[in-house]
Amino acid sequence: MKTGRSTAGDTKARILDATEKLFIEVGYEATSLRQVTSRAIVNLAAVNYHFRSKEMMMQSVLGRRLDPLNERRLALLDAVEARWPGHDIRCEHVMGALFVPALQMAREPDIGGPSFLRLLGRVYSDTSPFIQSYLIGHYAPVFGRFFEAFGRALPDVPRQELGWRLHFALKALAGVLAGDDLGNLMPTFTQGQQMSDAHVLAQLTSLVVAALKAPAPSSDQLGALQDVFDIGEDQHADERAKLEHIAALAATVEDEAQTVAAATAAAVNRARRGSARSVRNEGTARSATASMAVRRDHCAPFPSNPLDDWMRTRPRT
């Protein structure tokens, strides 16, 4: 029989699992508490009881996965730096310390599981301000350690240049991981051949390392791209001129249509006023005719005969 404490623990775990899956599928902004409660089969009161807010719930999701990952990363980086001190360290060594723990956790269901790489990909590619601020606030020391290690492995790359190159390369790799788990990546890189995790990681990191070590663009490369930009700007200017011409024609047509509509409305109003006057005049004429008829029917009586008047008024004896 489960105790109340274990039941509460199970509820909390279900909420975290549901939130993690939704975050992997749709990202932080699109993950709603309603979706979490539906997938975890709990009510909103349970979510509020354990986490009080969506932000705290997501912090718990990230913390339970990323905290153990970063502990492993730092431990492995310490061992790598002890083995290859100073500038003896290679870029591949640092990349290994960054990704080997993630591959290990992806094979351990209790602390990561098959979806762990997709979770990492979503974390590093999600653009929501909350996720980005959380990563900067909680894992800045880890990022700093690895940045310094990359700097020793790539001493010829200026630090400012190295910063945005790392950002670009790791974001690109994170986008790949966010779309597919390791099981889908393996056939792509191995092409049906059996390969170890080290071989697969080498395939992935070779792209990243190439981006980090790429030489600065030459004047010929810059000139070629500038030529394309110039052509594109000319095309854009031509297209914009066409659109402005079309907009001007449309405005002219609209003005003419409004003028015609106003003239038509005025003509209709004049016609209505003329019709109303005709009706009023016709009514006045009919009234006058009726009045004349009434006056004819009530003509004054013909004067009486004076003798008759005398005969009617004389005294009778």
Q: Is residue 232 part of a domain?
A: yes
How many domains are contained in the chain?
Answer: 2
Q: How many CB atoms lie within 10 A of CB 33?
A: 16
Q: Does 227 share its domain with 201?
A: no
In whole angstroms, give the CA distance from residue 153 to residue 148.
9
238: containing domain? 223-297
Nearest to 54 by CA among 24, 21, 28: 28
Share of the chain above pLDDT 70, in %: 79
Judged by DSSP in three states, 162 sits in: helix
Higher pLDDT, 288 or 92: 92
Tell me, what CATH number does 85's domain have? 1.10.357.10
Q: Does 168 share its domain with 94?
A: yes
Q: Is residue 42 part of a domain?
A: no
Examine the pLDDT at 51 and tell me if it is beyond 70. yes
Structural contact between residues 82 and 71, judged by C-beta atoms closer than 8 angstroms: no
User: What is the pTM (predicted TM-score) of this model?
Assistant: 0.67
Per-residue pLDDT tens for 10-33?
899 999 999 999 999 999 999 999
Q: Does 242 share its domain with 189?
A: no
Q: Is residue 26 part of a domain?
A: no
Q: Does 164 share its domain with 232?
A: no
Could you say which of 182, 216, 250 is where a domain stops? 216
99-131 burial code (b ≥16 CB/10 A, e <16): bbbbbbbbeeeeebbebbbbbbbbbbbbeeeeb
**H/E run at residue 152:** helix 129-153
Could you say which of 172, 191, 216 is where a domain stops? 216
Structural contact between residues 99 and 201, judged by C-beta atoms closer than 8 angstroms: yes
